[in-house]
Structure 1
Amino acid sequence: MDYSNRVNSKKGSGGVADSHETNVHTRRRLKELLTTQVLDLDNDPYVFRNHLGLLECRLCLTTHVSESSYISHLGGKKHQLNLEKRRILDKKFNQRNQSQNKNIISNDSNVVSISNTPIRTWSKIGLPAYKATKIRDPTSLSTGVLIKVEYPQLVKSQEEPLFRLMSYYEFTSKNQNKMVSFLDKEKKGEDPNGFQYLIISAEPYENICIALPNKEIDKPKEEGEMSDGYWWYFDRDTKEYFLQFIFK
């Protein structure tokens, strides 16, 4: 037999394929892959096209120049092995979360948290009538403020109004803009950081905000305790709420 055209081939092996035959085989294989599999880039969670127009596999961290190359990668050993590893990790993660949720439900069913606290919503009927009066302590001559708010239509579910002292940075950006416009109009452009703000809330009325001097208030160290210069009272008969603060 003539072996002159079969370089480096062994007798009976059929010869070594040249570059032309290799390209023909590669094109035939890619054609079969494209006809048997449809590449859906929108639904594939592991593929994306980068800024160079190349396809990248997030799971295997590989780059592919064409869709046929990526399809060939999908059927490869590396991608299939990484898929199996990801499936095992997801299964362990889901089992751990399910066990933790069961323990939380069984052991902490009576614990109040953000997830099991219903959101309170109501139809607001407007601002209540209120009055702020400057006062002075007859003993220490320290200045203070006495606030009276009327709530004639206070709902029965709320025992009494709530109040809180806040700084300018605790407001949302929308409320900060409102506060700046108010100070520009009433206080002639004073710095909003030079005040502390008293927020009083009661259903179904809108919250009211009173700008107080940014001075330290003389109040007890214990949270929720009252004193002669720091107290609040709600008259259930007249539906009037009183607050008094004395500054140091």
Structure 2
Amino acid sequence: MDYSGRVNSKKGAGGIASAEDTNVSTKKRVQELLATHILDLDNDPYVFRNHLGLLECRLCLTTHNNEASYISHLGGRKHHLNLERRRILDERQHQGHLYEQKVNQQISISNVDKRSWKKIGKPEVKVEKIRHPQTLQVGILLRMKAPRITAEEPIHRFMSYFELNSKSQNSLSNYLSSRGDDDSDREQEEDGDHQLLVISAEPYENIAIIIPNKHEIDKPQDEDKMSDTFWWFWDRDTKEYVLQFFWKKS
């Protein structure tokens, strides 16, 4: 600030600046900063002018009457602390975004397309109760014919009651209650007393067979393995699928 030519000023010394002179000098300095793009309010993401014409800082939630007050706020400790907090938060969000991208690139249920095909009805299925001639174990023999199958072979899976969604659970309960069994036996049954044998043979509809769950099925511990009491066979020539299993003795 130039103090020469002021009232009561001595040569080589500056006179006392009045409040009016200080405001004029401050406004001039602010205009120079704005003109040289050292301070660009239009590109500052944290400042905006409200309906009253006042400047507000979004980061610190402060209000300023003019540009000089906002410039003073930018050099303050509060604004710098909030900037550092915002930088740390942005880094955490960026790291989380990178982690999500890395997870999405891996194969999971969320990014695997659901298989869909035009269904042509249900295959012909025949279920028989059988008994092992030597061990006298009770079991089931299932035969299914699928002459128009497009998959390599049918697949089967055992599903418990608790793996079903609420709609399927209600359908299963309604079907069991509509059967002509004795009412006293039906009252003693619980939801987990039955399980489903689901067989899929594209493009046929999936079929589900209700089987009791009171006893454990006698099958090998390793999946996709067969034994004398648990086996299946797919005849590619006749397009017939056979599945046989027995329950363990109680």
Please tell me the TM-score bracket, short chain as reference: 0.5 to 0.7
Aligned residue in 2 for 1:114: 109
Q: 1:217 to 1:187 in 2, by over 3 A?
A: farther
Q: 1:182 to 1:139 in 2, by over 3 A?
A: same
Aligned residue in 1 for 2:159: 166
The C-alpha deviation readout for 1:9-45, integer Å capped at 9, x for no partner, is xxxx99xxxxxxxxxxxxxxxxx95423699xxxxxx
Q: Does 1:204 align with 2:203?
A: yes
Tell me the TM-score normalized by structure 1: 0.62
Q: Does 1:141 align with 2:132?
A: no
SS in structure 1 of the partner of residue 226 of structure 2: coil
Q: Which amino acid aligns with 2:172?
A: M
Q: 1:83 to 1:185 in 2, by over 3 A?
A: farther
Whole-Å separation in 2 of the counterparts to 1:101 and 1:246: 47
The structure with more radius of gyration = 2
State the 1:116 CA deviation. Answer: 5.1
Q: Does 1:72 align with 2:63?
A: yes
Aligned residue in 2 for 1:221: 221
Paired residues in the alignment total 184
Whole-Å separation in 1 of the counterparts to 2:103 and 2:62: 44
Identity within the alignment, %: 46
State the 1:127 CA deviation. Answer: 1.9
RMSD of equivalent CA atoms: 3.6
Question: Map of 1:88-99 to 2, 5 A cutoff?
Answer: 88-94=88-94, 97-98=97-98
Aligned residue in 2 for 1:9: none
Whole-Å separation in 2 of the counterparts to 1:150 and 1:37: 80
The answer to whether the 8 Å contact 2:104/2:111 transfers is: no
State the 1:115 CA deviation. Answer: 5.3
Whole-Å separation in 2 of the counterparts to 1:161 and 1:148: 12
Q: 1:93 to 1:142 in 2, by over 3 A?
A: same
The answer to whether the 8 Å contact 1:147/1:244 transfers is: yes
Whole-Å separation in 2 of the counterparts to 1:116 and 1:33: 45
The answer to whether the 8 Å contact 1:201/1:208 transfers is: yes
Aligned residue in 2 for 1:239: 239
The answer to whether the 8 Å contact 2:158/2:197 transfers is: yes
Match of 1:36 among 53, 57, 68: 53
State the 1:245 CA deviation. Answer: 0.8
Whole-Å separation in 1 of the counterparts to 2:217 and 2:193: 15
Question: Map of 1:1-12 to 2, 5 A cutoff?
Answer: none
Whole-Å separation in 1 of the counterparts to 2:162 and 2:245: 22
Whole-Å separation in 2 of the counterparts to 1:236 and 1:38: 79
Q: Which runs of 5+ in 2 are unaligned?
A: 1-17, 20-48, 65-69
Whole-Å separation in 1 of the counterparts to 2:207 and 2:179: 16
Q: 1:87 to 1:138 in 2, by over 3 A?
A: same
Q: 1:115 to 1:182 in 2, by over 3 A?
A: closer
